[in-house]
Amino acid sequence: MRVTRLSGIDLNRFTFDMDVTWNAFFTDANLNVYSRYGGRDGGEPDERMSVSSLLRTMDEVLAEHQRPSGRKRFQPRQPGRQTPRDIPLLKANHRGCIRCHIAREYQLLQSFHDKTFSRRELFRFPLPETLGVTIRTEHGHQVERVEPKSAAATAGVKPGDVITSVGDVPVHSDYDIRFGLDRSAEPALAGRPIAWTLRRLYDDGEIRTLKVSLRPARGWWAYDIGWKISLRSAPFRTGMRGYSLAPSQRKDLGISVKTLGVKISSIYSDGFGRSVGLKKRDVVVGIPEPIGRVRLFDTFLGHLLQRHRPGDTVRLTVLRDGRRIIVSGKFPEWFTDETSVP
C-alpha cells in the first residue's frame, strides 16, 4: 500500500522520521511491524539505501514471518493511538493535505506550547555514526567501520559485525538501527547503556551471537539536521536571515568553496543574531573553527543547533568590513509564538 498523506495514520504504531523522502514498513496482517526501511541524512536523499539492502531486509522479514507465532520478533510501539488530527494545534489551524513534515512541525510546536519540548526533540532517529559506527550501505545492518575511541569501539564493536538488535528493537535495516537508537535516547533511558546484539564471524569460521553495551557521552544523539524542513518550526528564534555565498562571491572575499561562508542579509528582531552580536552584511566563516561548506542558510542553523544549547556561549568567526573577527554571545532560550505551520 502506498501512503502519501498522513491524515488517518497511527503515529504511535508507525513511528518514523517525518522529514524523510521515502519510508517503508513491513508488517503482518494485523499491522504488527517487523521492520522499517528508508531514512536519510544530510547527503543525497537515497544515500543510506540500496537495492541490495532492501532485498536483504525483505528476505529477513519473510523469514521472520514464517516463524511460529510465539517466536516472531515484532518491533515495539508507543501505547495508545494518535493521528495527526489528534494534535490540537494541527486540528485547529490546518486544512487540506497533511504531508509528513507538516505533522512533524505541528508536533514540535505543540510540544513547545505544552512545555514538554526538549532539545532532543530536534534530533529524532539519530545516526549510528553518532556512536562511531558506519553501516555498509550494500548490506543494511553490517558494520563497515568503527571510529577509534568511540562508544562503539569502547564496547567492542568491530567491522564485519552484523547488528541484530538495538535495545528492544529487532534490526533488519539501517533504519531499524536508528529506530532503536531513537528509543534508547528517550529521556527515561538517559544515562543507561544501550544494549546491542551482534552476529560475528570468528577466525574458526563459526558465527556466534554476542551482546555489548554502549555507554555514549551526554548528548550523543545530536547530528546534522540542517536539511530537515521541519526545522523551520523549531522553537529557535534566529531573528536573522541569510544565504550561502555563491562561488563568485567567495572568490571576491578569498573564501574557499569548500568551507562555510554564510552572509547575513538582515537582523530583524531579537534572537540568536542579536544575542551573539551579528550585523547585517557579516559573513560567517567559522563556528568558530572553519567547517565544510553549507548549501543553505538552514544548514548553517542546523550546525548551530547540533553544537549548542540554551545558555551556551557561542563564538563565531566573521568577516566584517574586510576584517576577520570573533563575535560571541549566549545561545537564546527556546521560544516561538507560532501556532501554525506555513
| For residues 276-296, average pLDDT | 88
Judge whether residue 130 has pLDDT over 60.
Answer: yes
In the chain, domain spans: 23-118, 128-214, 236-330
pLDDT of residue 323: 94
* Cα–Cα distance measured from residue 283 to residue 278, given in angstroms and rounded to the nearest whole number: 9
> Band of the pLDDT at 192, cuts 50, 70, 90?
confident
241: β partners: 266
> Which residues lie below 8 Å from residue 304, measured CB to CB, with a gap of 6+?
272, 287, 314, 331
* pLDDT above 90 coverage of the chain, percent: 84
Q: Report pTM.
A: 0.92
Band (140; pLDDT cuts 50, 70, 90): very high
Nearest-Å Rg of the Cα atoms of the chain is 22
Residues 111 and 305: their CA atoms lie apart, in Å, by 18
Write down the pLDDT at residue 228. 93
Q: Does domain 128-214 have CATH number 2.30.42.10?
A: yes
Report pLDDT digits (tens) over 207-241: 999 999 999 998 999 999 999 999 999 999 999 99
pLDDT(271) > 90: yes
128-214 and 236-330, same CATH topology? yes
Question: What is the DSSP secondary structure assignment for residue 234, as one 8-state letter?
Answer: S
As its CATH architecture, domain 236-330 has Roll (2.30)
Whether pLDDT at 21 is above 90: no
Element (H, E) at 27: strand 23-27
> How many percent of the chain have pLDDT more than 70?
99
In angstroms, the CA 154 to CA 300 distance is 31
Query: Rounded CA gap, 213 and 196, in Å?
Result: 6
In whole angstroms, how far apart are CA 23 and each of 46, 48, 145, 199?
A: 11, 12, 25, 26
Question: Cβ distance 13 to 75 under 8 Å?
Answer: no
Residue 10: how many CB atoms within 10 A of its CB? 16
Residue 190: its pLDDT value, please? 65
Of 255, 72, 56, 276, nearest in space to 173 by CA: 56
Has residue 303 got a pLDDT over 80? yes
pLDDT of residue 67 exceeding 80 = yes
How far apart CA 210 and CA 228 sit, in angstroms, is 36
Q: What is the mean pLDDT of the chain?
A: 93
Is the pLDDT at 189 greater than 70? The verdict is no
291-296 contacts, C-beta under 8 A, 24 or more apart: 291/259, 291/260, 292/258, 292/259, 292/260, 293/244, 293/256, 293/257, 293/258, 293/259, 293/260, 293/261, 294/226, 294/244, 294/260, 294/262, 295/244, 296/226, 296/227, 296/244
- 321 touches 309 (CB < 8 A): no
